[in-house]
Amino acid sequence: MVVLSFISGNLKGEPCITVEIKPKCGFLPFSRFITEENAVKRNVVRFRMHQALKLHNQEISEYSEYNPLDLFSGSREGIQKAIEALYATPQNNFRVFLNGSIVFGGLGGGTNSTTVQVGEAFEDILKNVIQADNGQRTTSFLQLVAETIYISGALEQLLEVQKLDTYDIEGAIHAYYNIISQPCMVCRELCKDKLSCRYTSLHSIPLDQSLKIVKDYLIAATAKDCSLMISFRPKEDGRLPSHNTVYLGSTNQAFEYKVYFIDLDLKPLKKMEAYYELDKKIVSCYSQMMKTEHETDKAVTINSNGSVRDQRYALEDGLFTEGCTGKCK
């Protein structure tokens, strides 16, 4: 695959390296419409919970080390930690292109953890870009990416858009049923007693308010799924200083950079029900997993003899065969 960037047409043959990051949702939801049953959503980031479901569905083979809250933390340390985690477990959240061709990370579903061999190959690829000794280039490159994200402020802007989701899907879904003028399927399931139903008020708001809630939700959903592209080229000595220059202290190099977002098509209204269902599945699978882990811990405490390990595996099997059946899928 060839990726276009602002430097792809550069005539002087200087290397252009582009990083693609899919940051996903960078905040914990705060909507009052989140039910007590789903309160875990306020404390555990969606990306982390979704990993449990993806693992269960064999879409991934191991957990990502990445935590979006680090990337969106606004601190140099947090961003650096997130970039290192993305490098270690890129999945479909981190890719690198050199002169338009992919050199790190996978297309489509993404890749497994970065192995020593993959790391060595990448270190070698960086030799025309990062002027450091063998073994030092990847570290410097990841510093460059983190520093650029920090100084560009691009993720602060993205987070603002993501936070247009103030109702959470648990609130926005009711506004959706108002818009399509259909009986609310969620109230039918959750509100046995209409008088005490916490969502009744959402069904008596004006149509333009429902439209705004759902529009903001879909804009936020788009911002939670878009990708950030950052292109670099080494800055030639003597070229005029530009605003978009980042300095890499560890190699004493300057780079011109450009940051832009891709995949910004607005998510369609018809996905609202699917969003509601997926949200339920993610919380359910994660909660099941936590419950099983808790039980495992208890079992380990009680049986501190040679059979501990076997018991742990038995419980994990329970999670992925019985525990999640019908709930996680």
Ligand X SMILES: Nc1ncnc2c1ncn2[C@@H]1O[C@H](COP(=O)(O)OP(=O)(O)OP(=O)(O)O)[C@@H](O)[C@H]1O
Ligand Y SMILES: O=P(O)(O)O[C@@H]1[C@@H](OP(=O)(O)O)[C@H](OP(=O)(O)O)[C@H](O)[C@H](OP(=O)(O)O)[C@H]1OP(=O)(O)O
Question: Which residues here bind ligand X, judged by CB under 6 A?
Answer: 3-5, 20, 227, 229, 262-263
Binding to ligand Y (CB under 6 A) within 251-310 occurs at: 267, 271, 278
The rounded distance, in Å, linking the Cα atoms of 229 and 260 is 5
Q: Which of 147, 133, 137, 153 is nearest to 98 (CA)?
A: 137
Pick one of 149, 172, 186, 221: the residue that binds ligand Y (CB under 6 A). 221
CB under 5 to 8 A by kind: which of ligand Y, ligand X, none does 2 bind? none
Q: Which is nearer to ligand X, 20 or 70 (CB)?
A: 20
What is the contact mask toward ligand Y in residues 79 to 108, using x (rule: CB under 6 A)?
-------------x----------------
Write out the H or E segment, with its range, that includes residue 182. Answer: none
Q: What are the C-alpha distances in Å from 65 to residues 26, 83, 84, 108, 127?
A: 15, 10, 9, 19, 27
194 binds ligand Y (CB under 6 A): no
**Do residues 172 and 217 lie in contact, with contact meaning Cβ atoms separated by under 8 Å?**
yes
Q: Which is nearer to ligand X, 212 or 258 (CB)?
A: 258
Nearest-approach distance from CB 263 to ligand X, in angstroms: 4
Binding to ligand Y (CB under 6 A) within 38-57 occurs at: 50
The rounded distance, in Å, linking the Cα atoms of 222 and 147 is 25
CB under 5 to 8 A by kind: which of ligand Y, ligand X, none does 262 bind? ligand X
The rounded distance, in Å, linking the Cα atoms of 262 and 227 is 5
The rounded distance, in Å, linking the Cα atoms of 175 and 213 is 7
Torsion angles phi and psi, residue 95, rounded to 5: -140, 155
CB under 5 to 8 A by kind: which of ligand X, ligand Y, none does 51 bind? none
Nearest-approach distance from CB 111 to ligand Y, in angstroms: 12
Contacts for 39 with CB less than 8 Å, ≥ 6 apart: none
Nearest-approach distance from CB 251 to ligand X, in angstroms: 26
Pick one of 14, 27, 48, 225: the residue that binds ligand Y (CB under 6 A). 225
| Chain position whose Cβ is nearest to ligand Y | 225
The rounded distance, in Å, linking the Cα atoms of 81 and 170 is 32
- Chain residues in the site for ligand Y (CB under 6 A): 50, 92, 221, 225, 267, 271, 278
